[in-house]
Every structure is written in structure tokens, then in C-alpha cells.
Amino acid sequence: MNQHLSEETAPLVPVPASRRRWLSHILAAAGPDLVLLVLFLLTLGVLVRAYGASFKWVEGPIVISAGITFGLVAIATVRRLPAALRGHLGARALLVTTARSTFRDWAPFVALMWAFQCMETYTGVVRKTTIDDALYRLDLAWFGVEPTVWAGRLFHPLLTDWMALAYGLYFIMPMVLATALSLRGRREDFREMSTAVVIQLGIGFVLCLLFPAGPPRYYEPFQHGVFTPPHLHSWVGIFELQQGAFDSADPLRTRSAFPSLHCSLALLTLVYARRFGSCLFPQRPRLYFRICLPVVISLWLSTIYLRHHWVPDILAGLVLGMLACLIAQWLRKHWPSLPRAGQGRSADGPWSSAVSKTWQRLP
């Protein structure tokens, strides 16, 4: 009896300190952005295994993020290569460190864009029944009318151009901020923002799988004269160019409206433009936020005006965007970190200090 009790009440064997340190070191070296990306890629692998491969390589977000990455490496190489060729002390090591740091920061982001573009094709496969009817009923219950139909009375070709432009800037605005953070050498800020994007797209994709939904313009009951005008058109052709690109991806676009990742990423842009805007305008740190604010508000409204989203899509996207920012900020504070060697040296290495000094000389 006593032996039985002693076995039940025996303390658990603690994890050896060396193993904890090893795990902490691995997590610190990888960073939350890379760890979450691996989970994202594992999910893609499961989908490929279950439903077959459907890879995409030439999509806007992939090309833009990869182009920025190689552009930043090229800029650093052009700037540092002459000194390295002349054999200046430490120049070659600084060149290698700069390129490696840039690839380390941007590679998870580029891989994420590729994975997400591939994953979008699986929406409507795991769950084949869409939730469009439920979203439509919610709109009617909240407003008494369908907002995308009501917005037709505001139609004007120039307004359509502006709304299409704002909608298309959803990816450009955060990329401007991310590029500036990278050039300034603010690697920790960049990684927090990158982590927020990974979280946003990861959760958003799971929701797209579980709750496939299409935009109101593809809703079957709206295909027979509900919209006025039946088809939007613009003054200078921005909308037609954009809509042609979107519709060429059909039926992919008809299953990934909930939540609105355009709205989510736009909110994320506002949050980080306010927090990190000094990387663009050091003397006026709120300027980029003020530039983005009217564009982001127009983007949110454009999702209704252009008939891309139901209102619940927008609300879900806003909640997701704020949640991703909060989680990323929490992870930055609590994620294991590597020990810093020396007090007088930047924690982000030579790339941070060298590039920061270069930018500080600019007006």
C-alpha cells in the first residue's frame, strides 16, 4: 500500500536543464516567424498529400516580395563590393553578413507568399458547401438591405477608379514599410511585422478552408439583374485591369472571401505604420500613418463598393488583423533570445549598424 502511494505521489522527473537550453537556443535562432512558417508549410504538405499538388510560382505577392529581397541584396552588394575587392579589413565579412541577414529576414516572407498562393487553391475542397447564404442573411439582418447592392447608387467611373486603386494597394503599403525597416537595419521590428503577417495568413487560411465563401458579385441569386449598374466600369481603366486579373483566377476567388485578408492586411499596415513609421520619415514619424489612413479607409469601403466582400467578411478580417498584431507583439517580448556578445555592439549585427548609419546621413 505504502509502495503504491509512493509511486503515485512521486515527483515528475524534470526536463534536464541542458535540454531546455538546447530547445531555447533552437527557438531563439529560428525566431517565431520561421517556426510559424514551418507549421504553415507542414499544413500545405498535408493538403498536397491529401488532395494533390497545386503549386503557383508567378503571382503578384510572390514576385514583389522576392524582387524586394534580391533588390536589397543587390544594393548592399554594390555598396560593399568595391571595399571588399580592395581588401579593406572586414569589408568582405560585412558583405557576406549583410546578404545573409537580408535573406534570413526576407526568406520566410517570400516562402509564406508562395505557400499562401498555393494554399488558396484548396479552399472549397475540404468543405465544399459555401456559407454565402448565411453571410447574405447577416447583411440583411444588420442593415435591412444588402450593402453591396445599395452601394450601386453611389456609382461613378472616377469613384470606381479610386476604389480599385485603394483595393490594389493592400500589399504595396506594407511592403513599403517592410522595405524601409530592412534598409534602416531595424531587424527586430521587421521580424515582428513579418510574424504578424504569418499569423494573419495562417489563421485566415484555416478559416477559408473551414468557411468557404465567395464575393457578392458571384452570389448566384445576384446574377440576374440585382446590381445597378449590372457591371461596374471606371474612367481610366484601373478597375477593368484589376478585375480582369482577379476573374482570371476564378473559381479560386469564389471560395476565399471569409475573412477579408485585404481588410486584415490593411489594418496591420495601419498598426505598424503608426508604430514604425519613423523608418520612412524620421523627423515626422506619423506621416506614413497619415498617408496610409485615407487609403486604408477607402480600401475597406471598396470591398463593399466593388462587390468583393460581405460585411461579416470585413469584420472578421479586422478582428484577425488586430489579433495577429497583438500576438506578434507578445511573441516578440516572450520568445527566447540568443545571448548578446558584448555591450557596445548592435544585437542585429553589422548590417544593422552599417545601414542605419548610411540612412542617417540622408535628409
Residue with the bigger pLDDT between 320 and 9: it is 320
pLDDT of 329 reads 94
pLDDT of 16 reads 60
Please state, in angstroms and rounded to a whole number, the distance separating the CA atoms of residues 83 and 333.
38
- Contact between 285 and 278 under an 8 Å Cβ cutoff? The reply is yes
Neighbouring residues of 243: CB distance < 8 A, sequence distance ≥ 6: 164, 232
pLDDT of 361 reads 39
Q: What is the pLDDT of residues 321-357, one digit of tens each?
A: 999 999 999 999 988 876 654 433 333 333 333 334 4
Closest CA to 125 of 205, 210, 44: 210
Expressed in angstroms, the distance from the first to the final Cα of the chain is 81
Please state, in angstroms and rounded to a whole number, the distance separating the CA atoms of residues 179 and 65.
10
Least confident of 53-62, 186-195, 351-360: 351-360
Averaged pLDDT, 119-131: 79
pTM (two decimals): 0.80
Mean pLDDT of the chain: 81
pLDDT of 18 reads 65
Averaged pLDDT, 246-253: 51
Please state, in angstroms and rounded to a whole number, the distance separating the CA atoms of residues 68 and 325.
23
Chain Cα centroid distance, residue 271 = 13
Please state, in angstroms and rounded to a whole number, the distance separating the CA atoms of residues 266 and 276.
15
Q: Which of 118-122, 137-141, 212-216 has the highest mean pLDDT?
A: 137-141
pLDDT of 250 reads 45
Q: What is the pLDDT of residues 74-118, one digit of tens each?
A: 877 777 777 777 777 777 777 777 778 888 888 887 888 887 777
pLDDT of 247 reads 58
Say if residue 25's pLDDT is above 80: no
Q: What is the pLDDT of residues 274-328, one digit of tens each?
A: 999 999 999 999 999 999 999 999 999 999 999 999 999 999 999 999 999 999 9
Dihedral-angle region of residue 271 (phi above 0 means left; psi in -120 to 50 means alpha; beta otherwise): alpha
For 140, the grid coordinates are: 440583411
